[in-house]
Structure 1
Amino acid sequence: MGTVDDYLAGLDPADRAVVERVYAVARDEVPDAEQGTGYGMPALVYRGKPLLSVKRTQKHIGLYPFSPDAVSAVADAVRALPETGLDKGTVRFQPSHPLPDDVVRALVLARRQQIDG
């Protein structure tokens, strides 16, 4: 097991399914990503840099790509979705309204391109 697997094991089953889906899409897009940490959070790490973290908070699920530019790449799509929000480096959503795979995919690809330079 790794840091992401350990984190997932401790989540409520309904939240776990939503968070697992985000990580699954990220792994499909970046199969070389490994489990690790980023800014103290369980994360997928690519080429030694944090790619993505997904965490359940008290009020929402936060998706952290460790990059304001990656968030900007999907901002318009996220704003069109119900019960979502954006901050400089975070996409927030409710488990009852998970992010569509294509939005997650676009965010992950934007972050991977940044890391690849």
Structure 2
Amino acid sequence: MAKTDYKSIDEYQKNFEGEILERMQTIRRIIHKVVPDVEETISYQIPCFKYKGYLIYYCAFPKHLTISHPYSDAFWEHFKADLEGYKVSKSAIQIPHNKPLPEQLIKRIVEFRKKENAAK
């Protein structure tokens, strides 16, 4: 995808269709359900959600979605078992398109991040 100057998450998501778009919309709904007063923005040209600081980002690639944030050591320890089988880095979790979207896991991740931010 060519670099652009997205102004909103809707603008970012217009570049996608089908299952990839549906998966991003599901993640967005989960975030809003867990954090009703979350602020939507674009940061690093990808969807970003803020709640008492940066909460979580997501973006789409041809073979996976990534949910990201500079996760804490406590986060990694808490979700270590849940994230087995996913490709992860210090700040990203890749969710392959050929696997079901782990909606409950994403919900728990957002809840955890919300608590972390609220405690700051």
> Could you say which TM-score interval applies, normalised by the shorter chain?
0.7 to 0.9
- Is the contact made by 1:37 and 1:45 (CA closer than 8 Å) also made in structure 2? no
- Is the contact made by 2:63 and 2:97 (CA closer than 8 Å) also made in structure 1? no
The separation in 2 between residues aligned to 1:7 and 1:27, in whole angstroms, is: 17
Aligned-partner residue type, residue 103 of structure 1? L
Corresponding residue number in structure 2 for 1:102: 104
Please list every run of at least 4 consecutive aligned residues from structure 1 whose deviation after the TM superposition is greater than 6 angstroms.
none
Which of 62, 66, 85 aligns to 1:62? It is 66
Structure 1 unmatched runs, 5+: none
The separation in 1 between residues aligned to 2:16 and 2:117, in whole angstroms, is: 29
The separation in 1 between residues aligned to 2:58 and 2:96, in whole angstroms, is: 12
Q: Report the RMSD for the aligned CA atoms in angstroms.
A: 2.1
Aligned-partner residue type, residue 8 of structure 2? T
Structure 2 unmatched runs, 5+: 1-6
Deviations 1:4-55 (A, max 9, x none): 22211211322011111111111110011021134443211113x2211111
Shift of 1:74: 2.2
> 1 or 2, which has the higher helix percentage?
1
Corresponding residue number in structure 2 for 1:46: 51
Corresponding residue number in structure 2 for 1:115: 117
TM-score relative to the length of structure 1: 0.81
Shift of 1:57: 2.2
